[in-house]
């Protein structure tokens, strides 16, 4: 820890800049504790707090602008890729989209305080085509709130920070081992919980997109339920449904009705969750669409596909 303090005193804003840049780029390297330590050193006149905040804002703007552009170009696919490393893949996309659609770019004011929400919220800003000027405004304000709070905490409690650093220096190995053990146990618990959910939902039958198309050509038209939080570009005739909404409000017809549920999440988890509830309620002919909305988009983009648009077929 003495080496960390020495590095901060020598390189100050540059160390903060690269730490924040790597964290905002998606690497599991927390920057908040370093900002608190930097704030404590600033209170002792060993660092310049304006330079600390300048490095924080510059790094965050660079990384988040890259996420914003990536969200514009790759959108939902990028959200899916990011959420695949989450311990709660089924709720990652749904919760992020729901939060962002509820408050819009204002979510960026607090996104950095929410675990895993920083990059996802920035991607959502690009995906929803929020004006870059608006994005930058909320991004700068959110970064100043996040980084400024850490620096302020360090400055106010700098004697306590010094004592904590001394204790970590003396008992660091034991403390790191203890925290590492707790983290490993937590991850193992969440992975086991996740495995049990996925195993249970595997019993829900999946319907490939090409088979759904063949049904429609044969005149067999199932009820399509879209459980995405942002139901843009839905399948023809699909009904937008909240995956947690009570089934009583759905008009699905008789119990032998064919029902296909789809989402935009890994392993069709959200769709399978609703399909499980429907099958338990008596709708035995219920499927989850294999690959979800992404699979349907990919299928209709193929020139030979019956779902391809005229412009695609001409090309």
What SS3 state is found at 238? coil
CA distance linking residue 297 with residue 288, whole number of Å: 16
- Binned at pLDDT 50, 70 and 90, residue 132 comes out as very high
Each residue's pLDDT tens digit, 170-212: 666 676 677 678 768 877 877 787 777 777 777 889 999 999 9
Per-residue confidence (pLDDT) for residue 57, from 0 to 100: 96
Sheet holding 239-240, edge to edge: 206-207, 286-289, 259-262, 223-226, 239-240
pLDDT > 50? residue 310: no
CA distance linking residue 249 with residue 258, whole number of Å: 18
Each residue's pLDDT tens digit, 39-48: 988 888 888 8
Cβ 268 vs Cβ 206: under 8 Å: yes
Per-residue confidence (pLDDT) for residue 63, from 0 to 100: 93
Each residue's pLDDT tens digit, 261-290: 998 877 788 888 899 999 989 999 999 999
Per-residue confidence (pLDDT) for residue 267, from 0 to 100: 76
Q: 223 phi and psi, to 5 degrees?
A: -80, 125
CA distance linking residue 40 with residue 160, whole number of Å: 9
Contacts of 90 (CB under 8 A, 6+ apart): 197, 265, 266, 267, 269, 270, 273
Per-residue confidence (pLDDT) for residue 179, from 0 to 100: 63
- How many other C-beta atoms are found inside a 10 Å radius of the C-beta of residue 311? 7
Handedness of CA 298, 84, 236, 231 (dihedral sign): negative
Does this model's pTM top 0.75? My answer is: no
CA distance linking residue 210 with residue 202, whole number of Å: 20
- How many other C-beta atoms are found inside a 10 Å radius of the C-beta of residue 50? 11
| Two structure tokens written together for 118 | 């920083």
Cβ 154 vs Cβ 38: under 8 Å: yes
Residue predicted with more confidence, 102 or 155? 155
Residue predicted with more confidence, 69 or 165? 69
Residue predicted with more confidence, 2 or 275? 275
């Amino acid at each position: 820890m003495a080496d960390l303090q020495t590095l901060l005193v020598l390189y100050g804003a540059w160390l903060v800049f690269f730490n924040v840049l790597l964290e905002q780029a998606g690497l599991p390297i927390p920057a908040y504790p370093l900002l608190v330590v930097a704030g404590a050193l600033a209170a002792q006149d060993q660092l310049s707090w304006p330079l600390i905040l300048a490095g924080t804002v510059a790094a965050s703007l660079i990384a988040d602008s890259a996420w914003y552009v990536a969200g514009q170009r790759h959108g939902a696919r990028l959200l899916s890729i990011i959420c695949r490393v989450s311990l709660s893949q089924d709720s990652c996309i749904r919760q992020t989209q729901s939060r962002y659609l509820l408050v819009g770019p204002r979510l960026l004011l607090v996104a950095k305080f929410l675990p895993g929400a920083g990059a996802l919220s920035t991607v959502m800003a690009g995906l929803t085509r929020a004006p870059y000027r608006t994005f930058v405004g909320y991004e700068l304000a959110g970064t100043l709130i996040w980084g400024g709070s850490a620096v302020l905490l360090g400055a106010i409690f700098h004697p306590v920070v010094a004592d904590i650093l001394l204790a970590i220096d003396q008992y660091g190995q034991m403390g790191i081992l203890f925290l590492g053990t707790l983290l490993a146990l937590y991850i193992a618990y969440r992975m086991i919980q996740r495995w049990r959910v996925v195993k249970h939902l595997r019993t829900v039958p999946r319907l490939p997109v090409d088979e759904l198309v063949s049904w429609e050509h044969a005149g067999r038209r199932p009820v399509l339920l879209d459980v995405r939080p942002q139901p843009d570009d839905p399948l023809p005739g699909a009904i937008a449904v909240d995956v947690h909404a009570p089934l009583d409000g759905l008009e699905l017809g008789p119990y032998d009705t064919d029902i296909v549920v789809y989402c935009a999440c890994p392993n069709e988890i959200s769709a399978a969750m609703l399909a499980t509830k429907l099958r338990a309620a008596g709708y035995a002919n219920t499927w989850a669409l294999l690959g979800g909305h992404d699979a349907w988009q990919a299928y209709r983009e193929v020139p030979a596909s019956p779902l391809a648009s005229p412009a695609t077929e001409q090309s």
